[in-house]
């Protein structure tokens, strides 16, 4: 697969900034607690589905203190339409307990501290920091992975190396914008199946229409 040239990268960056400079997550949330829960639930699940699930969850458990005392079966029933709901129910309760016990009930706003919580890996922590704090970070989900490979920004086989490639290629102070841009661009235009190439902002730099998934 051909790699993006410096000119290609500049075209991509300019288009993303033009069209997505104000982009934010499509997950619905009111505070940092709700955002972190929504991101955890969104792993291998659509934002649309998560937004259907979370109103009932947050109505019953409006704070991290409430969730820390939750009954596991009750949480499972509320989120059972979410992928991997058994594991996610356990993780969000464990996460809440850890926040109460170790952070006085305050969601940590630090990448390394977030990753100490159940259900929070590098991607989840980065997405939280990008959305809530506009941190200059990159996070790679299925959309970002696919778009980055189609545009020749990475040929890595996993998300970790893909993230490193993107940080290197898109270096600057706008990584959070590029993350949000690639998510939305991949979700609505550069789709896995039947990409809408007629709506692409830079068809001249596309390297392939093949669909990519991390190994």
pLDDT band of residue 210 (cuts 50, 70, 90) is: confident
pLDDT for 114 beyond 70: yes
pLDDT in tens, 13-31: 999 999 999 999 999 999 9
Could you state, in order of their start, the residue ranges of all structural domains in the chain?
6-23+137-205, 32-133
Averaged pLDDT score across all residues of the chain = 95
Average pLDDT over residues 46-55: 97
Catalytic residue positions, numbered: 123, 141
CA 190 from centre of chain: 17
Of 1.10.3720.10, 1.20.1740.10, 1.20.1050.10, 1.10.1670.10, which CATH number belongs to 6-23+137-205?
Answer: 1.10.1670.10
Sorting pLDDT into bands at 50, 70 and 90, what band is 215? low
pLDDT reading at 161 higher than 90: yes
Binding residues for [4Fe-4S] cluster: 190, 197, 200, 206
Each residue of 176-207: pLDDT tens digit? Answer: 999 999 999 999 999 999 999 999 999 999 99
Per-residue pLDDT band at 209 (split at 50, 70, 90)? confident
Q: What is the mean pLDDT of residues 161-169?
A: 96
pLDDT at 120 over 80: yes
> SS3 sequence, the chain?
CCCCCHHHHHHHHHHHHHHHCCCCCCCCCCCHHHHHHHHHHCCCCCHHHHHHHHHHHHHHCCCHHHHHCCCHHHHHHHHCCCCCHHHHHHHHHHHHHHHHHHHCCCCCCCHHHHCCCCCCCHHHHHHHHHHHHCCCCCCCCHHHHHHHHHCCCCCCCCHHHHHHHHHHHCCCCCHHHHHHHHHHHHHHCCCCCCCCHHHCCCHHHCCCCCCCCCC
Annotated binding residues: 190, 197, 200, 206
List the CATH code of the domain at 32-133: 1.10.340.30
Residue 1 is predicted with a pLDDT of 73
Residue bearing tokens 């505070």: 31
């Amino acid at each position: 697969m051909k790699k993006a040239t410096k000119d290609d990268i500049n075209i991509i960056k300019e288009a993303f900034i033009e069209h997505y400079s104000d982009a934010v997550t499509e997950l619905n949330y009111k505070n940092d607690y709700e955002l972190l829960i929504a991101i955890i639930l969104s792993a291998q699940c659509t934002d649309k589905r998560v937004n259907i699930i979370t109103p009932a969850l947050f109505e019953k458990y409006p704070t991290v203190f409430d969730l820390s005392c939750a009954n596991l079966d009750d949480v499972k029933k509320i989120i059972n339409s979410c992928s991997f709901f058994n594991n996610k129910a356990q993780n969000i309760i464990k996460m809440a307990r850890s926040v109460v016990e170790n952070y006085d009930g305050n969601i940590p706003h630090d990448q390394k501290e977030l990753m100490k919580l159940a259900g929070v890996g590098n991607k989840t922590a980065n997405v939280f920091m990008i959305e809530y704090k506009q941190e200059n970070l990159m996070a790679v989900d299925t959309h970002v992975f696919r778009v980055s490979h189609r545009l020749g920004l990475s040929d890595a086989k996993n998300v970790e190396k893909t993230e490193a490639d993107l940080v290197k290629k898109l270096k600057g102070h706008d990584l959070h914008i590029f993350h949000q841009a690639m998510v939305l661009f991949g979700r609505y235009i550069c789709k896995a199946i039947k990409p809408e190439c007629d709506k692409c902002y830079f068809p001249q730099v596309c390297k392939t229409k093949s669909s990519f998934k991390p190994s």
